[in-house]
Chains A and B, each alone.
Chain A
Amino acid sequence: MNVQELNDILHNGLWKQNTGVVQLLGLCPLLAVSNSVVNAVSLGLATTLVMALSGAAISPIRNFVPNEIRIPVYILIIAVLVTVVQYAMNAYMYGLYVVLGIFIPLIVTNCIVLARIEAFAGKNPVLPAAVDGLAMGLGLTAVLAILGGMREIVGHGTLFGGLDLALGDMAKGWVITVIPDYHGFLLAILPPGAFIGLGLLIAGKNWLTLRAEQKARAQSIAAPQTSAA
């Protein structure tokens, strides 16, 4: 795998084909846990881990799996990996495990994991497959983090609430109160807040992409003129 390939995979995962705001896959956890930064990032990282691992696990066996049963086999492998991650979190990050609750097993049904395996890991060697899973997962985590931050500020008036659940008691004082004496805005915390926030993020991403395209076009038109002059 050369540097160009690596760059393409990373660029695809983090920006161009971002799962959260472009592919719009895996919205179930996106809408459910993005009510605070800590929840959003924790589940995002757990999903990233599962995506990277499943990419790396499925890529080497892709030639041994008969085409007709590839989906059940993929799902089986994803389910095994998710359960391993779940056991590990239950054992070593108990507080966080309690918070994320049912959303960890739900990673199995997150269609983005299967989609990347079908589209990428099932056709590529191990290293690119793992990097693709990692990049896609990190792209999703970034969107979750921004959405979680927006909803937490608007809904609770704080940032990083509940960080102690992930990092232990020492993080208890790390909560940032953005708006003091805030009474909360329930809409942002409830699922509609996730839809509205995600809509804004998609609009923002589209606007940035459009502006970049216009700039590029303006430059390509301007360039010949300057050379002629």
Chain B
Amino acid sequence: MKQLTRATLKTALNLLVFAVIGTAILAATFNLTHSRIAQSEQAEKLKLINQVVPESLYDNELIKDTLVIPASEQLGTEQDSVAYRGRLKGQPAVVVLEVIAPDGYSGKISMIVAINHAGAVTGVRVVTHKETPGLGDYIDFAKNKWISLFGGASHERYKEDDWKVRKDGGQFDYMAGATITPRAVVKAVHKALHYFEDNRDKLFAVSAPAVESTGQTEGASKQKAGAQ
């Protein structure tokens, strides 16, 4: 019996040693690469922003004119996100929002959505996604131009009910083989547009605290919904 306990302990210790070594290697690799990964992602984001916002729309340093937005259900964000604001001759012109579609086929789809001051989408790009290669990944502009459907989309052009894929009776095309992915994207862009309309002035405000109160009221309304 004693022997058995000792053998078991020895085996457990052995496994523990390997787990500790493995964790140490992973921690080291993470430390070595994570700043580089953040850099790659930032560089990619800048490239993307230039794709969704025509340069003629703004004359300020859009990348530096940022606003931190608290987690918002309408944007799909669970953490603070950053909005980039473009201004033309000092007048609010365009805002780039970070949006997450939580209901992709394989998890979250993170996107940037640019909306001009009049409330029309100037462009949408997918930043990261895990959709099936060859099927759902046509939302990626590098693969397909599908996402440019959103160029110019607004509540003036599409009614509330039009913000769906055609299969569901809306106005947005999709490709055979993958409906869940475009459905998630259309829904997320639509929600982001609503967020913009609800918070237009706060988004362009130079001081940040105004938007934070939005987060609070949203939290409050959620609590109310929970109470019901």
* B30 / chain A contacts, CB cutoff of 8 Å: 87
| A101 part of interface (Cβ distance < 8 Å) | yes
Interface residues of B in 14-60 (CB under 8 A from A): 14-15, 18-19, 22, 25-26, 29-30, 32-34, 36-37, 40-41, 44
Contact check, B37 vs A87: say whether CB atoms are below 8 A apart.
yes
Asked if A165 meets B142 with Cβ closer than 8 Å, knowing A84-B29, A90-B40, A102-B106, the reply is yes
In the docked arrangement, what's the CA distance between A194 and B40, Å? 33
Tell me the interface secondary structure of chain A in the complex: helix
Contact check, B130 vs A92: say whether CB atoms are below 8 A apart.
no
* B18 / chain A contacts, CB cutoff of 8 Å: 65, 73, 76-77
* B32 / chain A contacts, CB cutoff of 8 Å: 87
In the docked arrangement, what's the CA distance between A33 and B25, Å? 29
In the docked arrangement, what's the CA distance between A99 and B26, Å? 23
In the docked arrangement, what's the CA distance between A102 and B135, Å? 14
| B90 part of interface (Cβ distance < 8 Å) | no
Interface residues of A in 57-100 (CB under 8 A from B): 64-66, 68-69, 72-73, 76-77, 79-80, 83-84, 87-88, 90-92, 94-95, 98-100
- Tell me which of A65, A94, A190 contacts B14 (CB under 8 A): A65
Asked if A94 meets B44 with Cβ closer than 8 Å, knowing A32-B133, A83-B29, the reply is yes
Asked if A91 meets B36 with Cβ closer than 8 Å, knowing A79-B22, A80-B22, the reply is yes
In the docked arrangement, what's the CA distance between A101 and B106, Å? 10
Candidate in B132, B133, B140, B177 with the most chain A CB atoms within 10 angstroms = B133
- Tell me which of A66, A88, A95, A101 contacts B133 (CB under 8 A): A101
In the docked arrangement, what's the CA distance between A33 and B37, Å? 24
* A88 / chain B contacts, CB cutoff of 8 Å: 29, 33
In the docked arrangement, what's the CA distance between A72 and B106, Å? 27
Contact check, A87 vs B19: say whether CB atoms are below 8 A apart.
no
* A95 / chain B contacts, CB cutoff of 8 Å: 142
* B1 / chain A contacts, CB cutoff of 8 Å: none
Q: How many residues of A contact B (CB 8 A)?
A: 36
Asked if A76 meets B106 with Cβ closer than 8 Å, knowing A186-B177, A189-B134, the reply is no
Contact check, A80 vs B15: say whether CB atoms are below 8 A apart.
no
| A47 part of interface (Cβ distance < 8 Å) | no
| B10 part of interface (Cβ distance < 8 Å) | yes
| B176 part of interface (Cβ distance < 8 Å) | yes
In the docked arrangement, what's the CA distance between A88 and B140, Å? 22
In the docked arrangement, what's the CA distance between A83 and B22, Å? 10
| A35 part of interface (Cβ distance < 8 Å) | yes
| B128 part of interface (Cβ distance < 8 Å) | yes
Q: Mark A35-57, 1 if CB is under 8 A from B, else 0.
A: 11001000000000000000000
Contact check, B37 vs A98: say whether CB atoms are below 8 A apart.
no
Asked if A83 meets B40 with Cβ closer than 8 Å, knowing A33-B133, A39-B133, the reply is no
Contact check, A87 vs B29: say whether CB atoms are below 8 A apart.
yes
Q: Which residue of A lies closest to B10 (CB)?
A: A66
Q: Which residue of A lies closest to B31 (CB)?
A: A87
| B221 part of interface (Cβ distance < 8 Å) | no
In the docked arrangement, what's the CA distance between A76 and B15, Å? 9
Contact check, A94 vs B133: say whether CB atoms are below 8 A apart.
no
- Tell me which of B10, B22, B33, B133 contacts A99 (CB under 8 A): B133
Q: Which residue of B lies closest to A98 (CB)?
A: B128
Question: Could you tell me the distance in whole angstroms from the C-beta of A203 to the nearest C-beta in chain B?
Answer: 24
Q: List A residues at the B interface (Cβ < 8 Å).
A: 32-33, 35-36, 39, 64-66, 68-69, 72-73, 76-77, 79-80, 83-84, 87-88, 90-92, 94-95, 98-103, 162, 165, 186, 189-190
Interface contacts beyond A87-B32, A101-B130: sample of 15 additional A-B pairs, CB < 8 Å, sorted by A: A36-B134, A64-B14, A66-B11, A66-B14, A68-B11, A69-B11, A69-B15, A72-B15, A79-B22, A80-B26, A87-B37, A94-B41, A162-B142, A165-B142, A189-B135
What are 5 A-B contacts with C-beta separation under 8 Å? A87-B33, A87-B37, A90-B33, A90-B40, A190-B177
* Nearest 5 Cβ contacts at the A-B interface: A35-B134, A91-B36, A94-B40, A91-B33, A80-B22
